[in-house]
Amino acid sequence: MLISAVRRAAQDKAPLFFNNHFKSRTVWPPDFSKLDAKQKFRYERKFKRRSKLKWLRPGWVKGVKIAQFTSIVFVLIYGVLFLDLSSEGSPRHRPFAGIRSWFFGMTENIFGTDDKRRNFSLESQPTSSATPSIK
């Protein structure tokens, strides 16, 4: 097996002929010195459009836009809600203190802390004999 592979590698390669069965009608690239201004403009417009289409990468552009938007939103949310700026300037003046207190007041139940607005203890529920019990 190895000997036949070595023998094949030692042989000369078959000559490579560039035979195109479909010959072009015009010479390419065209001689721009022989073209008039209108024909030059047409070629420029056509190949400008084709080069734009060739280098257009919609998936890549969409990914870059999503990554940029995500990073901008992350930095803004981190800066407003979590970044401690009290060491900068006056310690009494905390920027975004109102937004932070509102946000963490709204989301305190998500992280397992008790709800301050409702009391779910059994003592606070009214017991009246007027309500019929269903058994």
**Cis peptide bond N-terminal to 29, omega within 30:** yes
Whether pLDDT at 131 is above 60: no
> In the prediction, which pLDDT does 62 show?
96
- In the predicted model, what is the mean pLDDT of the chain? 78
> In the prediction, which pLDDT does 133 show?
55
> In the prediction, which pLDDT does 111 show?
66
pLDDT tens across 43-102, in order? Answer: 899 889 888 888 889 999 999 999 999 999 999 999 999 887 777 767 677 788 889 888
> In the prediction, which pLDDT does 20 show?
74
pLDDT-derived band at 120, boundaries 50, 70, 90:
very low
Q: How far is the C-alpha of 3 from the C-alpha of 9, rounded, in Å?
A: 10
pLDDT-derived band at 122, boundaries 50, 70, 90:
very low
Q: How far is the C-alpha of 110 from the C-alpha of 58, rounded, in Å?
A: 39
Could you give the C-alpha distances from 77 to 52, 70, 73, 104, in angstroms and in order?
37, 11, 6, 13
Above pLDDT 90, what percent of the chain? 22
